[in-house]
Amino acid sequence: MDWYFWLLIALFVLLFLYLIYIPLPNDIADRSTLAFLEFWLRVTNEYFADLIELLLGPWHRNNVLRVVTALVFSWPRKPPSYLTISWDRLGGVPVRVYQPKLKKSNAAIIFIHGGGWATMHAKYYDPTIYSFVEKLGCYVFSVEYRLCPEHPFPAAIDDCSNVAKALMKKEKEYGIDPTKIIIMGDSAGGNLTATTTLRLTNEHLEYPIKAHVMIYPVIHMFSFRDPSCLQYYALYNGAALLSPVSMARWSLFYLGEKGTHSQVKDLLKNRHINQKILSLPEFSKHIPKEHLALDDPLKPNDKLASAALKAMNPEISPIFAETLKNLPPAMVLTCGYDVLRDEGILYADRLKADGVETNWKHYPTGYHGVFNMPGSKIGKQMREDIVEFLTKYM
């Protein structure tokens, strides 16, 4: 009797795993590790989170993602011997300060973490930042900016800008050169890197930003059916890599919207784009038609489109800036298996067209999140490429 019972349980488990199995592309980096991690994240971040959203709403769903993320990243780690970590407040904003014990440069990096503006914290990036302190021998200041949906735009960019301005006034305390401040970030942090650098450049500060690095950045909020999003649906639909669904929900949160299921659904169909937006010259100038895949005939959600007009603010979507020509040297990194791939490439092209010194690096087998994936060869290569780029600005 016991033997049959356990056989039935085993068959049930195998059937369950078979039904929810989602194959990843054969050439995707770190495939075996990613398959295990993706499955675990899908069960928690998608299936369980879907249930929470159904019962309690999208904000509580985001809280579940924060808890899961904390479980992944919050294991206690002793920092390496070549640096010390402390907390400070710059411009009233908490920052995690990484100080090299053997200082090689008086430059400073302001790091802005990703997580859809909504889920991550500065300390989660400790191991990734260690490598930059070790190789470059400079201070790194990681910004603990306010998260949405509790604090939508412009809270995060205000925090990042205030940190940069305050750091320029604390150069003696930290022994840094205020003319050598670099801003760097990934994903939503890449967006904040682009927009913060744009804001500070437009304010004509005494000390301009030296360089900025954007790792698979969010560049605008009008591309939920562009080729890189359509590739997600075609090759690994439903996998717990960054999905158009998650990106749509976080974008709505950042814009101050509720992020409801119906809003997300309309955003995924680009129904936040109506004829008024389509007719704007800056929209048609910077968003390629092949990135839109609009309904035919167009069936816009005019209420959502009214809110989406806010997303054309260059401090949210830097692709819409009137000019980028005064920006400091830039590095843009993109990955082949990433829903943000095409907008990152679009921004790199725009930077070059406006005469900004731009280094674009593309990793065809990389995926969203590979930059800080432990043990990843592609992630290591990305960090080495960034170090090589930044060395000349140290």
CA angle 84, 106, 348 (to 5 degrees): 100
Distance CA 51, CA 64 (A): 11
Active-site residue, from 126, 266, 338, 342: 338
Q: 249: Cβ–Cβ under 8 A, 6 or more apart, which residues? A: 58, 62, 116, 259, 264
Residue type for 131, please? S
Residue type for 43, please? V
Active-site residue, from 105, 187, 228, 246: 187
Q: Indicate if 74 belongs to the active site.
A: no
Q: Indicate if 368 belongs to the active site.
A: yes
Please give the full DSSP string across 360-389, using - where no structure is assigned. Answer: EEEEEEEETTGGG-TT-HHHHHHHHHHHHH
Q: Residue 266 is encoded by which pair of tokens?
A: 């309309």
Q: Indicate if 338 belongs to the active site.
A: yes
Q: For 106, what's the count of Cα atoms within 13 Å in the CB-facing half-sphere?
A: 11
Helices (H), ranges, the chain: 2-20, 31-41, 49-56, 58-73, 126-136, 155-168, 171-174, 188-202, 227-236, 244-254, 261-268, 275-279, 281-286, 302-308, 341-353, 377-391
Query: CA-CA distances (angstroms) from residue 96 to 87, 140, 156?
Result: 5, 8, 16
Distance CA 15, CA 18 (A): 5
Where does residue 57 fall: left (phi above 0), alpha (psi -120 to 50 degrees), or beta otherwise? left
Cα 125 to the center of its chain, rounded Å:
13
Active-site residue, from 151, 272, 286, 368: 368
Specify the 3-state DSSP secondary structure of 298. coil
CB contact at 8 A, 90 and 124: no
User: Which of the residues are catalytic?
Assistant: 187, 338, 368
